[in-house]
Chain A
């Protein structure tokens, strides 16, 4: 019986299929909001589902000169990385499916698998747009990853635990957005960098390098990468909401907080001009990393004085 429950938890609800569905719904909401901000109508609610179903049904073209196994397995690794990460996060306000001491670090690295896979997928092909896109993807990975990790470690430091579930419980009576506002902003912007949302979409800037690392992908591979991104959007929003916005106690809590965050993300996407890759790196290391380190210093000093 326990095995059955665990299986259902992973495959149907709240992980697996349900998570994929929610990922697509959040992607739709993001697209719809940006469209409305830009005075457009925007897609209908089932558009991402239709896109993915269509892509999954289509032929996958294997370009010349790629390593075939790598080409097929990278999208699977990307999606499974994102789905595995969901096990340690209080998705939809439920307790995490499983946890161990230090699962925060494991989760962040599982989330990075997607970006890493995309970079490798781009570098795997001979296509010139893909190669430039892959270089940019990996460059971006190295610029936002450290500040993003540091921003999530801020609340962990206060909660004195590196276990996401415990931090979530602690955060319920401590709104870290009030005590660590810089960390909150850096975490949210870092999430945008992770998902390559505008203005951090230089790795897939369509007016320069077509679709970046994804240029040669079609059919199933592309669909899996897309689904992975949708799942990561939900996990990322849950993490930020759990850490900074007073934790996630129940599904309503989850929906309200993550949708609020998504609205914020959508408005930033609509308002900003795309950054060049050198500007992105400069922004993260010159401001992002320094700001979050300053925040750290303040937290440590205040903690020390109180204790």
Chain B
């Protein structure tokens, strides 16, 4: 290091750390990673999360059951529907009602369309991290198709708000049915091309084959979920393990790969798209007739429950507790990024610095969904402080003045 400033201490033989985030071109969301490198090889990795803690769980507690649904839908900007669905299913379980079959089928249908949207978005982001912008631009162009379909069904492109406690708000008309089928046909053809690229592009394979390999044992030990686990050969899918909504009537084939490297994660996600296309057609073919909603009382009986569903990134977990009033007593959300995050740090060691963005993207991280707490850390003394609710409140009021 060239040091010309005399006040600057000459660095001792210490590890050279590359910080990535919270503001960095590789991460569009704030998270802070520190990679200790020896030349180009990573020797240690640490993560600091919590930059986008928004207090949603606390926010839900001070709102009514119905308002809560709209708030949790905003936990994630990509997979918004799964949050609302999990919340609704949990609350319906507490209230002792069940949405009609047609509503459940439409919930699954929108969830699968959302999975297409999420996986295509991921494909583009991951390709961009590898410096393959061609795939990035093309997959995002085609993603517009599914976003238009979702807009056609629900009226919204991102936060669809298709759910309501006790059912869904939107129906599938014959015109929409035809539009979805046409869109899915187009996407299936495009996805076949992407599978070809992912599996056969030599230059791309140089960056994915044998990078970030996670064995089945590691995957089970670290408890990773979703496509990341399935790429390591762990057949873990909530849609199969604990079917919810309409998945009992429309069974899902679990897609797994055994290699466990980045290449396998690409192949698993792209192959899951084909399964999703099949599922969407099956749901449209056998869409049950009937009502869209059942009535749910304003007050939910006291009790507690958990609900798990398979988000595009893996298992999404909700704990909902009611004290018998008009507002939830406690809502706890665990998004799939949290269990997967540990695997990034584990896999990073020994790889090249250039592979870091790809390994991180390999789990399809979503930081703002993930952040539940803030640790206030003094950067000089490296001391951590845990603030109590009262302290935080006082701090907030002082800052506002």
Chain A residues proximal to chain B, CB less than 8 Å: 37-40, 64-67, 123-124, 126, 128-129, 131-132, 135, 198-199, 201-202, 205-210, 270-279
Contacts and interface: CB of A to CB of B under 8 A. Distances in A.
B133 A128 contact: no
A270 B207 CA distance: 16
Contact of A132 (B129, B131, B207, B353): B353
B40 A206 contact: no
B137 A38 contact: yes
Contacts of A210: 24-25
Interface size class of B (residues with CB under 8 A): 35 or more
A135 B18 CA distance: 14
11 contacts: A123-B2, A132-B37, A201-B131, A205-B131, A207-B25, A207-B128, A208-B26, A209-B353, A273-B127, A276-B354, A278-B352
A124 B2 contact: yes
B334 interface: no
B353 A208 contact: yes
Contacts of B355: 276
B399 interface: no
Contacts of A277: 40, 354
B383 interface: no
A279 B203 CA distance: 10
A275 B59 CA distance: 46
Interface string B349-389: 00011111100000000000000000000000000000000
A210 B25 CA distance: 6
A64 B5 contact: yes
Contacts of B17: 128
A274 B2 contact: no
Interface in B113-138: 127-134, 137-138
B137 A274 contact: no
Contacts of B397: none
Q: Which of B16, B128, B137, B204 has the most CB of A within 10 A?
A: B137
A62 to B, nearest CB: 12
A210 B24 CA distance: 7
Contacts of A132: 18, 37, 40, 353
B134 A37 contact: yes
B134 A66 contact: no
Contact of B130 (A40, A129, A274): A274
A80 to B, nearest CB: 23
Interface string B186-201: 0000000000000001
Q: Which of A40, A126, A276 has the most CB of B within 10 A?
A: A276
B354 A208 contact: yes
B18 A273 contact: no
Contacts of B286: none
A40 B137 CA distance: 8
Nearest to A65: B5
Contacts of B152: none
A201 B26 CA distance: 15
Contacts of A272: 132, 203
Most chain B CB neighbours (cut-off 10 Å) among A126, A129, A132, A273: A273
A129 B25 CA distance: 12
Contacts of A39: 137-138, 141
Given A208-B26, A273-B204, A274-B130, 11 more contacts: A128-B19, A129-B18, A132-B40, A199-B203, A202-B354, A207-B25, A209-B353, A273-B130, A274-B131, A275-B203, A277-B40
Contact of A207 (B2, B39, B129, B204): B129
Contacts of A199: 131, 203
